[in-house]
Chain A
Amino acid sequence: MTDDIWRFDTLEQGAVFGPVTVPLDRERLTGWDGVYGPVIGDLAPDGLIVAGMMEAYIRAIQPRPKGNVHAGQKLSFTGAQARLGDSVAYTVTVAGKERKKGRNWITFAIHAQLAGTALMRGEVTAIWAA
């Protein structure tokens, strides 16, 4: 399977990908600084966990078709916070699939954890290109 592109038909509902570990390291922090400005203190902004979610979502399911569309997003934060330098573990689950008006809609549930403590749950709604 890993040599083949993950297509709508091969992504089975309930399939779990990961965990993918994303370090809140200098490279990510430099990227954050370049867009949103410097982080004050050592607590990771919630947006850094969201950025890690996108990295995990991309890394977890590869190779993937070109042209997927990120159509919607749900997020729920637990209130727990990570610190700069921590590594956050993400799992990506195919939570739902629906073919509607000729488009392949997939909902991915993504959980972010830090050393077993839940940080965030997310749902990516995607239009899968193939």
Chain B
Amino acid sequence: MTDFPDTIPPLTLTTSAETAQAYAALTQDWNPIHLDPEFAAKAGFDRPIAHGTMALNLAIQAVAQAEDGALRIADLDIRFTAPTWIGQSLTTRLTRTDGAEYDLRVVTDDGRSVLLGRARLARYDDAT
């Protein structure tokens, strides 16, 4: 029986035009809805919105950085529940529910959840 921590230390990322550009280069997703304020305004948004998987990868990184890199996500199932406005901060929340199962969410600095779901963790030295 492998023990897992009750919570994973939260990880915070402040989104910006620079992080949006960097994530676009990372994913080769240059959709102007993420990058161009004028385009975003025409689409009905006050500001550009962050790529959805920027929040997902923040959660994956939070697990990767816990316990000196001993943990990883084995599987997960999430919904993107709201947009992240560029300029907002994102913070991960992972709380153990049973065994290696965690409630997973990513919240903005104004308290909205932009990603909700579950994740199962594993240790790198365990078979999955």
Contacts and interface: CB of A to CB of B under 8 A. Distances in A.
B106 to A, nearest CB: 12
A51 B13 contact: no
Contact of A75 (B28, B73, B128): B73
Contacts of A76: 74-75
A31 B22 contact: yes
Interface in A68-102: 70-79
B22 A35 contact: yes
Interface of B: 13, 18-19, 21-29, 51-54, 56-58, 60-61, 64, 72-80, 122, 124, 127-128
28 contacts: A27-B25, A31-B22, A31-B23, A31-B26, A31-B27, A34-B18, A34-B19, A34-B21, A35-B13, A35-B54, A45-B64, A46-B72, A46-B73, A50-B53, A50-B56, A51-B27, A51-B53, A58-B28, A58-B29, A70-B80, A71-B80, A73-B76, A73-B77, A73-B78, A74-B75, A75-B73, A77-B72, A78-B128
Cβ-closest 10 pairs across A and B = A34-B22, A31-B26, A31-B25, A47-B57, A76-B75, A55-B28, A54-B27, A47-B60, A72-B79, A31-B22
